[in-house]
């Protein structure tokens, strides 16, 4: 099997705005995809729930249930627009996530779309309190890995990146890059995602990239406050920055971060780093013994 090829990644700090339904979102996505392609990107990632902004022009007042119903009803049209965007720009696209109704339940699904419009989904595995208690989103399928022309990639949706076994399963299956679309309404929430992403990169000697929604949207009950910045992180070891931060954007501002990621750098640090976190991952730890100093 040939070694994975380098990938140029565009991470959008996606501004939540009032858009004119699916058509308005599609036009905005088209502009961002055009910018990413012009800047040499192979793959563009948006923040979690980015497309939920389409609900802003329909509800008379912020309403969680109404916004969820509108977006799930529009899910097929949104997916069609996303696939057409990827085809039009010949660009791989991870356009955030969508709440989608399936067999009587709601799932939070991230579509990964290739330049021909081919599509596969990663479902969010662990729900935040908002998702579980207000939207009644159900846990999705276990982590998958995605076949691309750059090798195997993984997706950990926002809160999922905070749970080491989920990302570890993807890395053990061959993923060298974990993509993390996020949506957080506090700096504390953003920092949980950011610090978890950096920890996953350190402990697996892999790349992890985050892309958030940003901005204030008082007209939305779901996306009213959006905090964060995009970033790409790697191992904290030889050949990498001393803090593992490869790139980052400006806090809370619309932006696009472009980063070139080479899996060969990971192979080198895994083979000859100061430590070998990837290889030294311990076997399941037995229940701790109970000791009493005497």
Domain ranges of the chain: 7-280
Instruction: Give the model's confidence band at 57: pLDDT under 50 very low, under 70 low, under 90 confident, else very high.
Output: low
pLDDT tens digit string along 235-280? 999 999 999 999 999 999 999 999 999 999 999 999 999 999 999 9
Average pLDDT, integer, range 198-222: 96
Q: What is the DSSP letter of 251?
A: T
User: What is the percent of the chain where pLDDT is above 90?
Assistant: 91
Q: pLDDT tens digit string along 99-123?
A: 999 999 999 999 999 999 999 999 9
Classify burial at 59, counting beta carbons within 10 Å of its beta carbon; exposed 0-12, middle 13-18, buried 19 or more: middle
Q: How far apart are CA 246 and CA 135, in angstroms?
A: 35
56 has a pLDDT exceeding 80: no
* pLDDT tier at 172, thresholds 50, 70, 90: very high
Which overall architecture, per CATH, does domain 7-280 show? 4-Layer Sandwich (3.60)
In this predicted structure, what is the pLDDT of residue 2?
66
For residue 32, the Cα-to-chain-centroid distance in whole angstroms is 16
pLDDT at residue 59 is higher than 80: no
Beta strands in 57-205 (DSSP E): 92-94, 98-102, 105-113, 119-123, 145-148, 151-155, 177-182
Is the pLDDT at 173 greater than 90? The verdict is: yes
Are 68 and 99 a contacting pair, CB within 8 Å? Answer: yes
pLDDT for residue 3: 78
Sign of the alpha-carbon dihedral angle for 74, 75, 80, 82 = positive
For residues 222-240, average pLDDT = 97
With cut-offs at 50, 70 and 90, classify the pLDDT of residue 1.
Answer: low
Indicate left, alpha or beta for 155 from its phi (over 0: left) and psi (-120 to 50: alpha). beta
State the Cα–Cα distance between residues 190 and 45, nearest whole angstrom. 17
């Amino acid at each position: 099997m040939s070694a994975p090829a380098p990938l140029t990644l565009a991470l959008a700090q996606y501004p939540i705005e009032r858009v004119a339904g699916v058509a308005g979102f599609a036009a905005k996505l088209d502009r961002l995809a055009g910018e990413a392609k012009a800047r040499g990107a192979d793959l563009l990632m948006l923040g979690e729930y980015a497309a939920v902004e389409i609900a802003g022009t329909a509800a008379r007042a912020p309403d969680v249930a109404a916004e969820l119903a509108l977006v799930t009803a529009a899910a097929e049209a949104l997916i069609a627009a996303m696939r057409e965007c990827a085809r039009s720009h010949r660009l791989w696209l991870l356009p955030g996530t969508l709440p989608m109704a399936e067999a009587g339940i709601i799932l939070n699904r991230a579509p990964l779309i290739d330049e021909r419009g081919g599509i596969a989904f990663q479902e969010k595995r662990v729900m935040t309190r908002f998702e579980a208690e207000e939207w009644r989103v159900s846990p999705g399928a276990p982590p998958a890995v995605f076949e691309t022309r750059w090798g195997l990639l993984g997706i950990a949706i926002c809160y999922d990146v905070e749970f080491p076994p989920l990302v570890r399963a993807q890395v053990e299956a061959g993923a060298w890059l974990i993509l993390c679309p996020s949506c957080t309404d506090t700096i504390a929430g953003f920092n949980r995602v950011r610090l978890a992403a950096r920890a996953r990169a350190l402990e697996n000697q892999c790349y992890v990239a985050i892309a958030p929604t940003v901005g204030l949207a008082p007209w939305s009950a779901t996306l009213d406050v959006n905090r964060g910045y995009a970033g790409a992180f790697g191992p904290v070891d030889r050949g990498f920055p001393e803090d593992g931060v490869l790139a980052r954007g400006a806090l809370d501002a619309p932006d696009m971060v472009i980063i070139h990621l080479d899996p060969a750098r990971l192979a080198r640090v895994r083979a000859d780093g100061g430590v070998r976190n990837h290889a030294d991952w311990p076997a399941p730890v037995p229940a701790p013994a109970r000791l009493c100093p005497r």
